[in-house]
Structure 1
């Protein structure tokens, strides 16, 4: 059993089945790239790991215990569209997570605790290349810089698990390459467990230590909504395997989102 374990997980909305029979173990420190066609339930799977949704059937365990039914500080998330607060500058965006964790009633740390929190936030912003933009508001940052801010915001509470939902899809190719390098470095430095949804199959194989493909195994044209997606391929990767994309997965590459 892995640190994060999905055991015969189903997700159903009324008579529509989105995911079915998902059984997957994710060990500590893995970087799992999740691919598949549009509508294959990839983002739903990520929301399950976040605690934003609960399975209709089956269990999700973290270290052998049921995953909490709501998002917690042990899980950070970064979305494709920059999930930062537009009315806060970069430093306050990152400090917000520490304020909420350390002072849930007041929503703001004070005194020595705030000074220490500020030092942590500044250090992390410097690590992601935003050390000169502490007082800059998101609207004045480029797309790549906003995504760096979103990553810092997600990492400030030192989560064990980082969830990435098409985090680089809206970026220009050159900026995207820079972000690939940054997220790989942060994965290794912080010993994160990462689940990343992407429609870019080359990105999936480049970054992941494992690639999981979701799709429907069954299909009935008379009742297509009665069959859900599951993990149809699961490829552990080493450095050599990252360079070659299996032909059965190449057809799954698509440019549209869930």
Structure 2
């Protein structure tokens, strides 16, 4: 299958996973035009997957439905998504046009956030980013950490397809937290090279995120030491490590 990151807005990605026959699953189309353009290049819309209710992830669906009235849309249980769609949640499986995606509940960024994992890809919206994670608009640190742990337990060769191009900014913060991490330094250099050539820095491999992403490394001693230095004491547990790490990132300025 062929994966394409379609740029939208300033830094969003709409993901397109295309089967050999042209059938394409589109993920989080906040804008319709990139999908309409992709369709002219042979990506035939089979269905749309939505990870959460924010407009930059769902705002293009109505226009796509005007073009393809029977387009299947799969979305989380959330009354803020004002669309006719099939509601899915934890334990469900999306099956459409030869695609199969088990659904994972990953609350934290929003209370109803879901992710789709299948065909070697993880479509995780704004829960997990390369070298970072989403802000907690509606969830608690314990919820978000549990969600990230669920994603971290997926196969290491999973391709992480997140909703935004945030890798360079995340890398600067991650290097402040974990400055001696050689794998992180390599990933930062790789990302800088990609962006210098106007290439997306994602998808990344989950194996790389496990080595480099401080929000998946709340158990690691360098991350714990960095948080202890901020707290002036040893953190009580990984939830406190994560909570302080997220608080630090929220106010971070390079």
Q: Same fold (TM over 0.5)?
A: no
Classify the TM-score, shorter chain: 0.3 to 0.5
Q: Which protein, 1 or 2, shows the higher relative CO under an 8 Å CA cutoff with sep ≥ 6?
A: 1
Given the two structures, how large is their TM-score scaled by the length of structure 2? 0.35
Given the two structures, how large is their TM-score scaled by the length of structure 1? 0.35
- When Rg is computed on C-alpha atoms for both structures, the one with the higher figure is 1
